[in-house]
Amino acid sequence: MKLQEFENIKFVDGGVCAAKGFRANGIQCGLAHAGAHVTKKKNDLALIVADKECTAAAVYTTNKVKGAPILVTKEHIKDGKARAVIVNSVNANTCNADGVEKAQKMCALAAAELGINENDVIVASTGVIGQVLPIEPIANGMKALAEGLSYDGNPRAVEAIMTTDTMPKEAAVQFEMGGKTCTMGGMLKGSGMIHPNMATTLTFITTDADISAELLQRALSDVVKLTLNRVSVDGDTSTNDMVCVLASGTAENTPVTKENADFEIFENALYALMVNFARMMARDGEGATKLIECAVTGAETEKIAETVAKSVITSSLFKAAMFGEDANWGRILCAIGYADADFDISQVDVKIASEKGAIEVCKNGAGVDFSEEKAKEILGEEVINIIVSIGNGGGKAVAWGCDLTYDYVKINGDYRS
């Protein structure tokens, strides 16, 4: 899938290691297992480390049930500082009586091996909920994990956070700010149990830009609302969602300490990175064959446009139609119609589009004649665009989803196998 490009933003290689002064590694410590979706034992433990202390920011799941690592990470970065991230897959360390103790132990093990304070370590876990996390494999693997850290270790790290993901998801961008070239890169996992508020993901972003912790948090909170919070695969919001950003300042740009032009540049770079993460995650939805992007314009407010776009991409009937490459536009209009938003349905226009072209299927809330053959050709592509206009207002928004396939049920029917 092609990356979505942005003006004044250059995409580069390296993921979480692209920015100056960040090392990473991933190993197979013994948590991973061969099962229904794991054909071979893969890396299951990752470490990201900065050469110097960083400003840090994070956002977390809105689920009332929260993984123990989230509780520990919140405490560790309340001072706006961090230096390392330790993360495992396979086991979510959620709903366990000893969960916090195990999460704290992971931080302590990493800190001891790195020679840093354990309160400067972010911890995250992903995998099966409600199973006790064995700490012994993590403890036994920590020395090798730390010794293998390198400035090009991102491929090993990103493999370690994958669960039902079918592909590694990483990207990096460069941009000019404060008289210097700054770099920002990251990696994420997410394939199922994905729904706005946040989309289910563990996302780790690093940058060598110099920015205060307060503004780093503001930028992250702003951009998540426009990207990961607009992705849905299956309507389920995870217990372990976390997005964190570490900023080292080694690019030596003029420090960003107020909302000025440099802050806007930083936010735009973060958006460019995270909108591509959103698209990657939707495309790799469990069992998915298509990325669906719904763009809504003409709303009275951005919130109304967002609500309508989310309503379309979360409709199971619409998602199933996209899998069948069926231009059943009535399902789109149905989803628009039950969106919890105020607009005039008689002003709604709908087009479907892809690299094969575009056709209008609905005008002023009613169907129009169109070629079913052309529609089938358009819907045969990997990326499908649903273009909706609901009036003459200035509000607009985009949301991302995927088709609903037989494989989604198969994957989730034996997830613990």
Catalytic residue of the set 94, 200, 203, 307: 200
Residue burial 21-59, b: 16+ Cβ < 10 Å; e: rest:
bbbbbbbbbbbbeeeebbeeebbbbbbbbbeeebbbbbb
Place of tokens 């390296």: 14
With contact defined as beta carbons under 8 Å apart, do 87 and 106 qualify?
Answer: no
Alpha helices, H only, 338-417: 372-379, 406-413
Residue 94 CB: number of other CB atoms within 10 A? 24
Q: Which two tokens stand for residue 263?
A: 């802050």
Give SS3 for 273: helix
Is residue 200 flagged as an active site residue?
Answer: yes
The residues that are catalytic are: 200
